[in-house]
């Protein structure tokens, strides 16, 4: 923190105490300068300790209050300190992080107000797009990897239908029927309700015709909306998100979602798949000097809307446990009320932009948000409705893990471009990426659909994947719904090999990867 000027001694005692709460000794991210009684105090810097970024956070505020710029500001500084970042780009305006910002009067004025040494800087970035819809390297997942719990949320299934989908996945695992894309899943459901296959699940509950019909209709509607492109191979390896650039800066992975923003349930659930997949790939590391990755989950309320209890329980547990693997998660939404209490309790770092109080519902949300903050020297209800664009109320975890005092903050200006880069430049960056050749072209290999279509006179047991010599019978645990052994192609190998599937908290499956 810069040395206080002589005038700082005349500050009110409350302001001095707040400033002292952010005087960290180790590496930290600079958010901005303290606001007190409407005055910006540039010598009282508000910061977040770098090791605390894996303790998760919340960036909230009404539309137009500057949440996206706050994400950009934090992402830039993480990258500069060698930490990879993942950004979900809902509106299509985060791509500018790869290009130097434009110096203008507004930026210069903000930098002077908060004592920021502003320098136009672009940061190393990779650009992705779900299923290749939009500008970016295609990100796909196999149906098997996505798992029944996340897929149930996407398909808007109820609890009974969700459980039945779990049985279907279990059966496919046991019989070596690889669920690569949606037509594979549809083929397995159709087989299990046919005269030939309807007895297959009898011993573990069966699959009713009515439930199967709901699942099939949901899949058909899902595909009719153009969703089939998101499921298939080559499946995206989430280890790509953990890379650094040649100069040591963390790579900023930008997932463009503007082209699919009218399908919020899909993209929010797909983001959860990325996080769940990372959870199972990464080793336990405990507390670290800096995070391995910081993951920004924009429009987070969409993830929780209509979610089953099983889904919410799994999400809460994943967020709780992934911290010990060095991954920080920031949820971005309008109010703290959008996030379930069990998840909110794990978000130690808070950046709350302005809220509106025009309606009774607005006022209720405002009061609820105020209650989520520690005791404060501010009148938070009044403050939160009076903050300007680029201002926020902040509280983070100190180096000791204790909450810092609540600080009204005038935020710094991002040093990269605050807006999208030119579409032509973006496409050129995508095609020149070393990952483009690996993921650009979709592959449709033999899987459940083809096996069931060509089974001929073979019975279900004859379709089962051949067992390796000396391989033991599956254990009771392996036969539990959502687990098993089956044959598949490792995504980087062109021959058939055995692959063990481990179902995670979300029922997702993790394949052994070869890079």
DSSP conformation letters of 217-250: HHHHHHHHTTGGGGB-BSPP-GGGGG-B-TTSPB
- Tell me how far apart the alpha carbons of residues 108 and 148 are, in angstroms, rounded to a whole number: 51
Residue 508: the pLDDT is 79
Closest C-alpha to 433, from 102, 129, 181: 129
pLDDT at 471 over 70: no
- Of all residues in the chain, the percent with pLDDT exceeding 70 is 86
Give per-residue pLDDT as tens, 383-407: 999 999 999 999 999 999 999 999 9
Q: Quote the CA–CA distance of 74 and 88 in Å, as a whole number.
A: 14
Does residue 191 carry a pLDDT above 50?
yes
CA distance 139 to 240: 11
Task: Say what the pLDDT of residue 510 is.
Answer: 58
Would you call 487 exposed, middle or buried from its count of C-beta atoms within 10 A (0-12, 13-18, 19+)? middle
State the DSSP code for 403.
B
Residues 49-106: tens digit of each pLDDT: 999 999 999 999 998 899 999 999 999 999 999 999 999 888 888 999 999 999 999 9
Q: What are the respective helix, strand and coil percentages of the chain, to the nearest 5?
A: 40, 20, 40
Structure confidence at residue 241 as a pLDDT band (50, 70, 90): very high
Residue with token string 């932009």: 353
Burial of 232 (0-12, 13-18, 19+ CB in 10 A): buried
CA–CA distances in Å: residue 459 to residues 191, 197, 206, 452: 12, 9, 18, 10
Proportion of the chain above pLDDT 90, given as a percent: 60
Instruction: Indicate whether 239 pLDDT > 70.
Output: yes
Q: Looking up tokens 């005692």, which residue turns up?
A: 13
In this predicted structure, the answer to whether residue 465 has a pLDDT above a threshold of 60 is no
- Angle in degrees, CA 490, 513, 484, rounded to 5: 65
Q: Which two tokens stand for residue 450?
A: 């083809």
Output 257 or 52, whichever has higher pLDDT.
Answer: 52
**Helix count and strand count (H, E) for the chain:** 17, 15
* pLDDT exceeds cutoff 80 at 136: yes
For residue 337, pLDDT over 50 is answered with yes
Give 461's pLDDT tier (boundaries 50, 70, 90).
low
| Cα–Cα distance for residue pair 489/443, rounded to 1 Å | 12
pLDDT category, 10, cuts 50, 70, 90? low
What per-residue confidence (pLDDT) applies to 462?
A: 52
Q: Round to the nearest angstrom and report the end-to-end CA distance of the chain.
A: 43
Mean pLDDT, residues 134-159: 92
Look up residue 15 and give its DSSP letter: H
pLDDT reading at 488 higher than 90 = no
Q: Rounded mean pLDDT of 350-371?
A: 91
Query: Nearest-CA neighbor of 346 among 381, 307, 315?
Result: 315
pLDDT at 2 over 50: no
Question: pLDDT at residue 211 above 80?
Answer: yes
Q: What is the 3-state secondary structure (H, E, C) of 271-313?
A: HHHHHHHHHHHCCCCCCCCCCCEEEEECCCHHHHCCCCHHHHH
Query: What pLDDT score does 143 carry?
Result: 95
Residue 83 CB burial class (10 angstroms; 0-12, 13-18, ≥19): buried
Predicted pLDDT at 411: 98
Radius of gyration of the chain from its Cα atoms, rounded to whole angstroms: 25
The residue count of the chain comes to 515
The pLDDT of residue 258 is: 81
pLDDT band at residue 504 using 50, 70 and 90 as cut-offs: low
Is pLDDT at 292 greater than 60 in this prediction? yes
How far apart are the C-alpha atoms of 128 and 135, rounded to whole Å?
A: 7
From the list 116, 16, 1, the residue with the least C-alpha distance to 48 is: 1
For the entire predicted model, the pTM comes to 0.85
Q: Measured between alpha carbons, how far is 238 from 216 in angstroms, rounded to an integer?
A: 29
Give mean pLDDT, residues 2-20: 67
Kindly report the average pLDDT of the chain as a whole number.
85
């Amino acid at each position: 923190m810069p040395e206080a000027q002589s005038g700082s001694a005349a500050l009110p005692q409350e302001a001095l105490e707040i400033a002292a709460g952010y005087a960290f000794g180790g590496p930290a991210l600079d958010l901005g300068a303290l606001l007190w009684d409407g005055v910006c105090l540039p010598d009282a810097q508000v910061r977040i300790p770098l090791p605390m970024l894996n303790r998760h956070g919340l960036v909230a505020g009404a539309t137009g209050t500057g949440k996206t710029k706050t994400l950009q500001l934090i992402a830039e500084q993480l990258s500069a300190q060698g930490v990879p970042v993942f950004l979900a780009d809902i509106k299509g305006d985060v791509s500018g992080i790869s290009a130097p910002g434009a110096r203008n009067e507004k930026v210069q004025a903000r930098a002077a107000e908060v004592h920021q040494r502003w320098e136009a800087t672009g940061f190393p970035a990779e650009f992705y797009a779900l299923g290749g819809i939009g500008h970016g390297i295609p990100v796909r997942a196999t149906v098997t990897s996505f798992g029944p719990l996340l897929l149930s949320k996407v398909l808007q299934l109820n609890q009974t239908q969700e459980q039945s989908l779990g049985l279907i996945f279990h059966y496919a695992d046991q019989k070596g029927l690889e669920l690569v894309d949606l037509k594979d899943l549809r083929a397995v459901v159709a087989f299990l309700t046919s005269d030939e296959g309807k007895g297959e699940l009898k011993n573990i509950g069966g699959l009713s015709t009515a439930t199967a019909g709901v699942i099939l209709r949901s899949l058909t509607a899902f595909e009719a909306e153009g969703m089939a492109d998101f499921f298939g191979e080559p499946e995206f390896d989430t280890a790509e998100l953990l890379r650094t650039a040649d100069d040591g800066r963390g790579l900023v992975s930008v997932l463009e979602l503007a082209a699919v923003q009218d399908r919020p349930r899909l993209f929010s659930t797909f983001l959860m798949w990325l996080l769940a997949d990372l959870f199972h790939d990464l080793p336990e590391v405990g507390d670290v000097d800096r995070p391995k990755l910081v993951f920004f989950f924009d429009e987070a309320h969409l993830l929780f809307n209509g979610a089953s209890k099983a889904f919410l329980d799994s999400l809460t547990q994943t967020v709780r446990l992934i911290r010990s693997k060095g991954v920080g998660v920031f949820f971005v939404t309008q109010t703290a009320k959008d996030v379930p209490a069990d998840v909110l309790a794990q978000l130690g770092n808070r950046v709350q932009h302005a809220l509106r109080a025009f309606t009774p519902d607005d006022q209720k949300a405002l009061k609820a948000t105020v209650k989520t903050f520690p005791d404060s020297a501010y009148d938070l209800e009044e403050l939160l409705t009076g903050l300007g664009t680029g201002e926020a109320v902040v509280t983070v975890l100190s180096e000791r893990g204790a909450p810092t005092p609540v600080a009204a903050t005038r935020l710094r200006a991002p040093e990269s471009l605050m807006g999208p880069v030119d579409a032509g430049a973006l496409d050129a960056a995508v095609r020149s990426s070393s990952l483009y050749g690996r993921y650009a072209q979709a592959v449709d290999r033999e899987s459940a659909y083809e096996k069931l279509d060509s089974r001929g006179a073979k019975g279900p047991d004859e379709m089962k994947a051949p067992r390796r010599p000396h391989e033991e019978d599956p254990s009771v645990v392996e036969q539990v719904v959502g687990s098993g052994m089956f044959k598949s192609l490792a995504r980087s190998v062109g021959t058939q090999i055995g692959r063990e599937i481990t179902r995670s908290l979300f029922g997702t499956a993790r394949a052994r990867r070869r890079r």
